[in-house]
Every structure is written in C-alpha cells, then in structure tokens.
A and B are shown apart, each in its own frame.
Chain A
C-alpha cells in the first residue's frame, strides 16, 4: 500500500489566475525516498504544503495509508475529511521546514516532548525517553536543556528533524532542509537524512542539492511550471535527462 497518494492535484492562487499545480499525481510507497527538484516557482513547495494540509488544494484527492484526507465532489472540487479524521491523518506525517520553526520558548527537550504529551497523550517519562533516544541519534545528547537560540543552524535543524521523528510518522517531508544553512553546515543535515534513508524511513525531500538527491533518493521528480516534467531513477534523471527543460535546469546548476 502506498503511504501517500496524491491524485490530480490542482491549485491556483490569485482568484484562479495563477496556476501553481496543474494536475499533479504522486504516489509514495513505504520505505521509498523521493527527491523533488525544480526551479523556484515550479510548485514543489506548494505540493509539499498540500500534502501536509497547510494549503488547501482546489481539486484532487489526498490519501494516507488508504484513508482519505480529501476527495473530489461531483464538481471536481476537493472536499476535506472531518476534524477527527484529519487529526488522525496528521499523525501519519511529519514536516521539516526550511526555517526549522522550532518553538523558541521551549527547551530542546520540551520541543521534542510537548507534542508527544499533548497530542499523542504519551506519559512524560515515555516522551522523555523517546526524545532522549532521538537526541542521542542526532548527536545532540547534551543539548536537551539548551534553548534553540543557543544552537547553530545545523543543530537547530537536527532538533527539528528529531521533533518530527518523535511523533513516529509513517512519512517525513523535508522542505529544502538545507537552504537556510551556511554551506559548511549542510553536510551534517544531509548525513542525518542519509542515515534515515538507510533505516528505510519513507521520505519526500524538496531540495536543491543535486548530488545528494542522486545519491540518497530512490526516485527523482523534476517539476516545472506546476507539472511533473520528468521522473524516474536518480541516475537517469540527473545524469541523462530526457526532457529539454530538465536539461536546461540541470545545466544551470552545473554552472553554479
């Protein structure tokens, strides 16, 4: 069964004048790592926001583990499931933001435990145990009492990843997780994601790191102008693109 299923997603802004997503479909199987690349404005972030219920789509279906988050009515407009159903669906996925979005007034440990306790209803001890295991894994075992502002960007992003993992999601989304970081700090984040891939975590990663996408992903999707232009095996898409637009995009990258 696919963890994520998105069928014929359409989304436009500015009173239907700006079509950001034009009939996009995306299935992600369990354990699969999908990298989405493309120029800015291509719709990849919007796709991620639709998948994580932060943006409402105009049309199309969204399913997690076979459960509908949204389906089309007779006019082809997306209708979302009720509050309780969406709450359950939200527990299936996690999202790592470009800007981390840690809670600045909570310590690192509380960032990791609070949602476990107040959303999942775990006990304090259980939540703390889970958090400590994850901090250890992220190499931040000694930072539990620190506040986000006391950490480097790379450390903050690792806390953000741990915060998402603490909720035990079935699938984890990354929205350009290294874009806000200094170049020398991106490595530590990519290393963590690579490790998660090895543990068969299902992931969808929007990224500009081509080499990383090629190495870590099972499938690369190239988006442009609100459509999927090309997708497939990473080696194939990145080293031997079939489409002209993909080639142009990648050549611009090679020059940079």
Chain B
C-alpha cells in the first residue's frame, strides 16, 4: 500500500469525521438554546427534567451514550433499525450530548448579562421575544464564544469515539490501515493526527475570525 493510497483512504475517513462534526454542530448549537429555555422554564417539572438530562449527558461517558443510543431502540423496544441507523445514531448521540454542554454554556452567558439590559428594553417597550433576540442573544453569543470554541475543538477529537459503534471515521480508518498488509504501519496514526491538527487549526482560525468580527464593542 503506497502513501498515496493511505492518504486517499484516510481522506475518505476524514469525510466521515467532517460529516459527524458538521451535522453535530448543526444540530446541537440550536438545540442547546432550546434546552437552555427549558432549563430556566418557570414550569418546574420541565426544569427538573432538563436538569436531569443535562446531568446524565455530562455525568456519563460519551462512548456509553453512543452505545445506548445505537443499541437500545432494538434491545429494549424491538424496533428494527433503519438502514443508515449506525450513522444516524452517531449524529443523534453527539447532538444530544453536545447540546447539553452548549445549553450550560449559553445559560452562563445569558445569566452574565446585566439585569439593566432587560429593564432598559422593557421600559422602551420591547416584547419579551424582541428583548431576547435583539438585546440578549447577540450579547450572549459574544460572551460564550470562547467557551463554544473549546467545545467545538473537543468535538473534532471526540468524533473518533464513533468507532465504539462501528462507525468508520478517520481514526478507525487509520487503525485499519495501520494493520493492513504492506501498509506504512504506525505512521498512519501520526498522519491521522496531523489531519486532526490541521482541521482544528482551521476551526480555531475560523472561530478567532468570528470573535474578531464581534469585538467591535466591549
């Protein structure tokens, strides 16, 4: 197996990693906001339920959550999994896990906004929705961005946990290549590491750009 073959095989794995990464963000960033609302809901049972959900997501290993999401529907309820279930389950597990983390980050951001901002908006006659969308949310986004960046970078590396349910993402692919006949061997793992590093470098760069764009005020 030549280096070129190795790279193209790793590249395939990388596409899967990228898909997990993007779909997870696409799902968990907005879902986190919804969970934040439930978490601070005035309806107590909903609040407790959300608190419980967040504590489970943060208190158990992501790998376990992947296994539970993937296997439980069938083992507990006898549901026949759809054809793409392996991939769907990976995305689902990642989304619900990361949404819990994002929710707590958002909550911190929202709570850090001075009460005077709400009062100023109220006196000016903004509705509750307007206040949140126009006044609170933009300020919250700026405040939580550094923490969100941290999570996003962690996510890039966490994608490799998908191997636990047989998802062939880049890291699993690298391990397969490493033991394949006449492959470059262990070097493959380092090349995969380089892929992750470059990917994260781009992610960090992009997040920094966004932070800069939002730094027009203090």
Contact = CB atoms under 8 A, between A and B. Distances in A.
Interface of A: 52-54, 87, 90-91, 93-95, 97, 99, 101-105, 114-115, 118-120, 147-149, 163-164, 167
A149 B215 CA distance: 11
Given A90-B125, A114-B134, A97 B217 contact: no
Contacts of A97: 116, 119-120
A103 B217 CA distance: 10
Nearest to A114: B134
Contact of B125 (A101, A104, A115): A115
B77 interface: no
B125 A147 contact: no
Given A54-B119, A101-B119, A103-B135, A167 B216 contact: no
Contact of A115 (B117, B126, B139): B126
Nearest to A54: B119
* Interface of B (DSSP majority class): helix
B124 A119 contact: yes
Contact of B217 (A115, A149, A167): A149
Contacts of A118: 126, 130, 134
Given A91-B125, A118-B126, A149 B218 contact: yes
Contact of A105 (B114, B123, B126, B139): B139
B175 interface: no
Nearest to B117: A101
A54 B216 contact: no
B66 to A, nearest CB: 38
15 contacts: A53-B123, A87-B125, A90-B124, A93-B123, A95-B123, A99-B116, A101-B116, A103-B121, A103-B135, A105-B142, A105-B217, A115-B126, A118-B126, A148-B217, A164-B124
A101 B216 CA distance: 18
B31 to A, nearest CB: 24
Nearest to B142: A105
A52 B130 CA distance: 19
Nearest to A87: B125
Contacts of B119: 54, 97, 101
A235 to B, nearest CB: 32
B122 interface: yes
Top 10 nearest A-B pairs (CB, nearest first) are A101-B120, A101-B116, A119-B125, A115-B124, A149-B218, A147-B217, A95-B123, A90-B125, A105-B138, A104-B217
Contacts of B114: 99, 101
A105 to B, nearest CB: 5
Contacts of B117: 101, 103
A173 to B, nearest CB: 9
Interface in B93-143: 114, 116-117, 119-126, 130, 134-135, 138-139, 142
A164 B124 CA distance: 7
Contacts of B134: 114, 118
A87 to B, nearest CB: 6
